[in-house]
Chain A
Amino acid sequence: MASRDKTNRRQALRLIGSAAAAGYVGLNWPGALRPAHAAPTQRPNIIFILGDNHNADAMGCAGHPFIDTPGMDRLSKEGVRFENTFNTTSLCSPSRASILTGAYAHNHGVKNNHTPWTGQMPTFLENLSKAGYATAFIGKWHMPGHGLPKMPYLDLFVSYTHREGQGSYFDCPMIKNGRQVASRAPYITTEVTDYAIEFIQKNQAQPGEQRKPFCIYLSHRPGHPPFQAPEDIKGRYDHADVKEVLPDNVDPYWYGKTKGNVFQGVMMGSYYDQYRKYCETLTAMDRDIVRLLDKLDEMGLAENTMVIYMGDNGMQWGTHDCHGIREPYEESARLPLIIRAPWLIKDPGAVRGQMALNIDIAPTFLELAGAAMPGHVDGQSLVPLLADAKAKGRDDFLMEFWRYFPENTPSYKGVRTNRYKYVEFERGRGPWLFDLQNDPKEMNNLYGTPEGDKVLPGLRKRLGEYLEG
């Protein structure tokens, strides 16, 4: 765990930064900057929506040829989409812990889906609660441990432990504030969105002087397997041409079965159908995003609420002969990220090319709320990038992964810069070095080549700096 109680130079700088940020945010709270989006000067509400294993290209606004995602498309049109967003650990639980804490996995300690969440590091929800926000965690928790954690600072905690915390698409038994409750809506995205809307309505029903700004962490199950969509969406993409999306080397019937396990695929259907069903679940989730956005409009909250859509991991669908979320390829690590904050974004509909990370979410919210930045936060607030398209982003970040039984990806550490990706595996494989500018599909490993040798010392040095902390 990180030494979060220890005051050091880095922490002092962060505190100074937080104070400066508070001033900056003061200028950027709703109503302070853009007359077109004038609203009462108060701290903004925050709704963070998290998808599961969502390949960053599987959105209409990202140019996908057939998927219907009007909710994400609307967010993208009214906000900005970050096309270079990555997780720092390509696996569900570590990535979720990084989102909640703003810390790398080697600091928060959730290294794989078997490593328990200890709760020793505060989440942004706790920090926001202390800063006067009404907070809700709704949906998929999915971190190991005995049941759900104790988070007494939350005003609402609705989640599930069913099937290792994966839940089920239909009739998922829920746990509301520590008590088992029956499912109220058949489909899981409707169920959790209903809770979110009720939380907002309850918040808005309070008298003005008692009403706090709210922050909702709304975590969905789509697109995690087994892919199951509601009846009215099921089959929507049956005739969609998935060859436009999947790589040529994927054969529809056996891919992903023979290299992994031949029987798993047989029981789950063809690979093409799997992809179609995956898209159906994302569309089902998107429909509830639309519903939530409409509700914000109806309640007059759209101008004063930051809405973020993000995925916990990407997803490889056959590229590099891989299926899944763990390999250090772009498709696994790259995340969808769309942020709408009308008072802050001067160029709605724009696409940001700067790198953003899952560990940037917590500091973004804390800055937005004017809350102090805890010492454990490794990420950087995205507020400057939201406000200014030309603001400088980060130069690089640490990629880290710990082997996760029974999946076959060795532990690795790596560094990704704006141009290069360098990865060292603990065992089983030699290093990878890709020039992402000239080889964006990562087909040519430059490790051990004259070209690679030129940049290797710098990348190794940077990786060493990260690992030494």
Chain B
Amino acid sequence: MPKQSAWRQVARPVSLVFLITAASYFGYFGSRQVTNPSLHQIMAAFFGTTYFISIALGSVYVFASSRLKGAALGLAVAACFVTPLAWMTKEVWRISESHPLAECLYYYLNPLNIWLVSFMFVEMGLASLIIRPLLRRRGLGPDGGPGAAMAVVVVSLAVAVSLYAWGKGENIYVLFLGGYRALFGSGV
């Protein structure tokens, strides 16, 4: 199998997921301009779902596809972050309407972003386990056993679940606000 450039290894899956996210964003918010209530509901339900899936579950596809095209592990992981990071940055941009830059940067650490990243690693671990036979067949490795990927799945899943289970997410949010106050006081 001819070796592809790093760009070609990740460009297609990353672009596809990003475009679905972008289209879903415009489709979802565009649906609010639709005056027919039924059509509005259908559009909102469809694009809201694709919006969520592309951000939250896109890593499975991006990771698997990149690795199957021969991308190195680090590159595949980085590729998975493109769309979620773009979405997080959109959220940071949103709150910059009200808050100064330093506080907006702190917003990257909000519990929901941490939850998302934890879940991305679950997906990457699962994708890694699923594509192992295909990678072997294509002569792309992996060299070691599945232990590392399984550990990533277990640890990341534990973090993702416990973040939510711990006071239904309230407790971690309290920590996030405590960190904010330690850095910025009341902000006003």
Report whether chain A binds chain B: yes
Closest 10 CB pairs of A and B: A254-B48, A251-B44, A428-B97, A114-B186, A115-B186, A402-B188, A410-B98, A408-B95, A403-B98, A263-B112
Q: Write out, one digit per residue, whether chain B residues 153-188 have a CB within 8 A of any chain A CB (1) or not (0).
A: 000000000001001111100100100110011111
Q: Which parts of B56-105 form the interface with A (CB within 8 Å)? A: 56, 87, 91, 94-95, 97-99, 103
Asked if B181 and A258 sit within 8 Å, CB to CB, the answer is no
Contacts A267-B169, A411-B188, A427-B98 given; does A406 touch B107 at CB 8 Å = yes
Asked if B40 and A249 sit within 8 Å, CB to CB, the answer is yes
Q: Which parts of A224-276 form the interface with B (CB within 8 Å)? A: 226, 248-249, 251-255, 257-259, 261-264, 266-267
Which residues on the A side are within 8 Å of B186 (C-beta)?
111-112, 114-116, 144
14 contacts between A and B (CB under 8 A): A112-B188, A163-B174, A248-B37, A251-B44, A254-B52, A259-B94, A262-B56, A263-B112, A263-B115, A321-B32, A407-B95, A411-B98, A427-B97, A427-B98
Roughly how many angstroms separate A264 CA and B184 CA in the complex, as a whole number?
25
Asked if B48 and A405 sit within 8 Å, CB to CB, the answer is no
Please list the residues of chain B having a beta carbon within 8 angstroms of any beta carbon in chain A.
Answer: 25, 28-29, 31-32, 37, 40-41, 44-45, 48-49, 51-52, 55-56, 87, 91, 94-95, 97-99, 103, 107, 110, 112, 115-116, 164, 167-171, 174, 177, 180-181, 184-188
Which residues on the B side are within 8 Å of A410 (C-beta)?
97-98
Roughly how many angstroms separate A432 CA and B107 CA in the complex, as a whole number?
28
Contacts A163-B174, A262-B56 given; does A254 touch B44 at CB 8 Å = yes
Roughly how many angstroms separate A259 CA and B44 CA in the complex, as a whole number?
12
Answer whether residue A429 sits at the interface, using C-beta atoms and an 8 A cutoff.
yes
Roughly how many angstroms separate A249 CA and B32 CA in the complex, as a whole number?
6
The one of B49, B99, B171, B181 in contact with A114, judged by C-beta atoms closer than 8 angstroms, is B181
Which residues on the B side are within 8 Å of A263 (C-beta)?
52, 56, 112, 115-116
Asked if A405 and B51 sit within 8 Å, CB to CB, the answer is no
Roughly how many angstroms separate A261 CA and B187 CA in the complex, as a whole number?
22
Contacts A254-B49, A262-B56, A405-B187 given; does A267 touch B97 at CB 8 Å = no
Q: How many residues of A contact B (CB 8 A)?
A: 41
Which residues on the B side are within 8 Å of A408 (C-beta)?
94-95, 97-99
Give the shortest distance, in Å, between B180 (CB) and chain A (any CB). 6
Give 16 A-B pairs besides A144-B186, A259-B29, A262-B52 with Cβ atoms closer than 8 angstroms.
A114-B180, A114-B186, A114-B187, A164-B177, A251-B40, A251-B48, A254-B45, A254-B52, A255-B44, A257-B52, A263-B115, A402-B188, A408-B94, A410-B98, A428-B98, A429-B97
Asked if A258 and B98 sit within 8 Å, CB to CB, the answer is no
Asked if B28 and A405 sit within 8 Å, CB to CB, the answer is no
Asked if B174 and A164 sit within 8 Å, CB to CB, the answer is yes
Answer whether residue A166 sits at the interface, using C-beta atoms and an 8 A cutoff.
yes
Which residues on the A side are within 8 Å of B180 (C-beta)?
114, 405-406
Asked if A258 and B170 sit within 8 Å, CB to CB, the answer is no
Answer whether residue A409 sits at the interface, using C-beta atoms and an 8 A cutoff.
yes
Contacts A251-B45, A403-B99 given; does A258 touch B112 at CB 8 Å = no
With a 10 A CB-CB cut-off, give which of B97, B116, B169, B174 has the most chain A CB atoms. B97
Roughly how many angstroms separate A254 CA and B52 CA in the complex, as a whole number?
9
Roughly how many angstroms separate A263 CA and B98 CA in the complex, as a whole number?
22
Give the shortest distance, in Å, between B178 (CB) and chain A (any CB). 8
Give the shortest distance, in Å, between A425 (CB) and chain B (any CB). 9
Interface of B is mostly: helix
Which residues on the A side are within 8 Å of B31 (C-beta)?
251
Contacts A257-B48, A258-B51 given; does A112 touch B40 at CB 8 Å = no
Give the shortest distance, in Å, between B93 (CB) and chain A (any CB). 10
Q: Write out, one digit per residue, whether chain A residues 390-411 have a CB within 8 A of any chain B CB (1) or not (0).
A: 0000000000001111111111
Which residues on the B side are within 8 Å of A428 (C-beta)?
97-98
Roughly how many angstroms separate A255 CA and B43 CA in the complex, as a whole number?
12
With a 10 A CB-CB cut-off, give which of A114, A226, A411 has the most chain B CB atoms. A114
Asked if B170 and A266 sit within 8 Å, CB to CB, the answer is no
Roughly how many angstroms separate A403 CA and B188 CA in the complex, as a whole number?
7
Asked if A163 and B171 sit within 8 Å, CB to CB, the answer is yes
Asked if B112 and A264 sit within 8 Å, CB to CB, the answer is yes
Asked if A253 and B45 sit within 8 Å, CB to CB, the answer is yes
Roughly how many angstroms separate A321 CA and B44 CA in the complex, as a whole number?
14
Which residues on the A side are within 8 Å of B177 (C-beta)?
114, 164, 405
Asked if A258 and B103 sit within 8 Å, CB to CB, the answer is no
Roughly how many angstroms separate A409 CA and B97 CA in the complex, as a whole number?
8
Roughly how many angstroms separate A120 CA and B112 CA in the complex, as a whole number?
37
Which residues on the B side are within 8 Å of A266 (C-beta)?
52, 56
Closest to B45 in A: A253
The one of B56, B103, B116, B167 in contact with A405, judged by C-beta atoms closer than 8 angstroms, is B103
Q: Which parts of A253-302 form the interface with B (CB within 8 Å)? A: 253-255, 257-259, 261-264, 266-267
Roughly how many angstroms separate A253 CA and B51 CA in the complex, as a whole number?
12
Which residues on the A side are within 8 Å of B168 (C-beta)?
226
Give the shortest distance, in Å, between A403 (CB) and chain B (any CB). 5
Which residues on the B side are within 8 Å of A168 (C-beta)?
167
Asked if B29 and A258 sit within 8 Å, CB to CB, the answer is yes
Which residues on the A side are within 8 Å of B56 (C-beta)?
262-263, 266
Closest to B177 in A: A164
Asked if B110 and A406 sit within 8 Å, CB to CB, the answer is yes
Roughly how many angstroms separate A94 CA and B97 CA in the complex, as a whole number?
22
With a 10 A CB-CB cut-off, give which of B44, B56, B171 has the most chain A CB atoms. B44
Asked if B167 and A267 sit within 8 Å, CB to CB, the answer is no
Closest to A115 in B: B186
Which residues on the A side are within 8 Å of B187 (C-beta)?
112, 114, 403-405
Roughly how many angstroms separate A408 CA and B104 CA in the complex, as a whole number?
11
Which residues on the B side are within 8 Å of A114 (C-beta)?
177, 180-181, 185-188
